[in-house]
Structure 1
Amino acid sequence: MKIAVAGASGVIGRLLIPMLVQAGHEVTGIIRNPEHADKIKEAGASFVQADVYDRETLIRVLAEASPEVVIHQLTSLQARNFADNARIRKEGTRNLVDASLAAGVHRMIAQSISWTYSPREGPAAEDCPLDLEAPAPRRATVLGVHALEVAAAEMPEHVILRYGLLYGGGTWYAPDGLIAEQVRRGEIAAADGVSSFVYTEDAAAAAVSALDWPSGAYNIVDNEPAAGTEWLPFYADCLGAPKPRIETGSARGERGARNEKALRHGWKPKFTSWREGFRHTLGGNV
């Protein structure tokens, strides 16, 4: 199958491309920075250079690549600029969908997130509504996610992967990541809000599995939604960091997510719990 990956040099994209190649697919990585080209070629894929905000170039390169599937893994998170990430979800997705439709692409698999559901009791399933009435600043994130998912749904076939909080190499939760540094400095309190996590390799593997999934949204999270009072002390122990202070309360929508739908369709995560995943990625002995 001919597949184009937008965001090919990102945390998920760079894991996803070799998985797709190993599965026998003909893969083209779409990158903005040519410095990433060698890594893509080493993985056995080709590349094209395009800025997702440059509609005309994007339309041209997708027409030339003529993929059957486009996998959308575009984010702008490394600098913790949430406005940029909301923009890429809105404008970037709009351009990518338009270019895909113009090129005759039949299926799109798009990266979304699993913590924008409306606040209710218990972990959210995919049929729970998004929190479109959220106040600022959460509202900007929710509206960006909504715009991404609505645009992707214009494709004849579309799979929305609502990822949990990503941990692993290159993420904020890696040993050299932003969250790890904040935890070492004692800047994050363990509170009652519930989160769902997913290991980066498991997130990439879900995108490969999704090549055959029916259209719709899928939560890509592990089996164990957990309150901050549970996961954060464990994470700190794995880092060798001080035990975090405990606070009561939670932020809006911190309820975690359920993964039964993805599991039913054949997704088999390597780490079914953040406990084993944190041990693996952080080298902890707890």
Structure 2
Amino acid sequence: MRVFVAGATGAVGRLLVPLLLADGHEVTGTSRAEAGARGLARQGAIGVRVDAHDRAALAAAVRDAAPEVVLHQLTALAEANLSDNARIRREGTRNLVDAAKAAGVRRLVVQSISWAYEPGDVPASEDVPLDLSADAPRDETVGGVHALETRAAEVSEHVVLRYGTFYGPGTWYRPGGRVGGQFEGSGFTATDAVTSFVHVEDAALAAVAALHWPTGTYNIVDDEPAPARAWAPVFAQVLGVPQPAVAEGRAGWQRGADNTLSRMKLGWQPKYPTWREGFATLS
């Protein structure tokens, strides 16, 4: 199968491309940097340097690749700028969807998130609406997610993967990562906020499986949504740093997500069933 991976050198993309190649797919991957494109070529993919905000260049890259499936893994999180990330969800997705449609692509798989749901007291299933009435600054993130998913639905066969919080290589949740650094600097406070995690390897494996999944929106999270009071001490122990400070309370939207639909309908099972097993691999 000819597969076009937009954002092929990000945290998910760098694991996804080798999996696709190993399965025998013909892969074209994009990177904003020339070094990234060369790295993709060394793996056996076709590497293309292109910025998703360059509408004409992206359209040409998709047209030349003539893919059967487009995998949208575009993010802008290197500088932790959530406005840039929301922009790429809005504008980058618009450009990618238009390019896919112009090239006759009928299947699109997109990377979304599972913490954009309305507030609630239990982990959110996919039928819970997005939190479109959220106050600033959360409204920017939720608005970007809504734009991403709405535009993805323009492609006749579309799979929206609402991922949990990534941990593992190349993510914020690892030794030396952005959140890992907060722990190492005693700058993290464990509250009642619930997080649903997913190991970045499981995220990549789900994207490969989604090449054949039915159209729909699916939470791709592990089996144990957990408050920071539960997971943060384990993470600190893995990092070998002092236990974090503790405080009560959470925002209503910090509820986690439920993976029942993915498990029951798709038969999806994460390699790391919970963050407990996954965190143990980080040390």
Asked whether the two chains share a fold, i.e. TM above 0.5, the reply is: yes
Kindly state the Cα deviation for residue 39 of structure 1 after the two structures are TM-superposed: 2.1
- 2:214: which partner in 1? 214
Normalised by the length of structure 2, the TM-score is: 0.98
**CA deviation map 1:170-202 (0-9, x unaligned):** 111110101111112221111001100000110
Higher mean displacement: 30-39 or 124-133: 30-39
Identity %: 54
Secondary structure, aligned partner of 1:116: coil
1:137 maps to what in 2?
A: 137
Range with bigger deviation, 36-45 or 58-67: 36-45
Match of 2:52 in 1: 52
Q: Who is 1:241 aligned against?
A: 241
Inter-partner Cα distance in structure 2 for 1:130 and 1:175: 32
AA partner of residue 213 (structure 2)? W
Deviations 1:247-276 (A, max 9, x none): 010124000001122223132311001011
Structure 2: state its 5+ residue gaps: none
Matches within 5 A, 1:14-53: 14-53=14-53
| Structure 1: tracts of 5 or more residues without a match | none
Moved over 6 A (4+): none
Aligned residue for 1:271? Answer: 272
**Paired position in structure 2 for 1:64:** 64
CA shift digits 1:94-114 (9 cap, x unpaired)? 000000000000100000000
Residue-by-residue CA offset, 1:138-186 (whole Å, 9 max, x unaligned):
1110000000000000001100011100001111111010111111222
SS at match of 1:15: helix
Looking at structure 2, the residues matched to 103 and 113 of structure 1 have their Cα atoms a distance apart, in angstroms, of 27
Q: What per-residue deviation string (whole Å, max 9, x for no partner) do you get for residues 206-247 of structure 1?
A: 000001111111111000000011011111111111111110
2:124 maps to 1:124: yes
Q: How does 1:133-282 map to 2 (within 5 A)?
A: 133-264=133-264, 265-281=266-282
RMSD, aligned CA: 0.9
3-state SS, counterpart of residue 280 of structure 1: coil
Q: TM-score if structure 1 supplies the norm length?
A: 0.97
CA-CA distance at 1:35 after TM superposition? 0.5
Distance 1:26 1:268 in 2: 26
TM-aligned CA deviation for residue 49 of structure 1: 2.1
SS of the equivalent of 1:230 reads helix
- Cα distance in structure 2, aligned partners of 1:2 and 1:266: 25
Matched length = 282
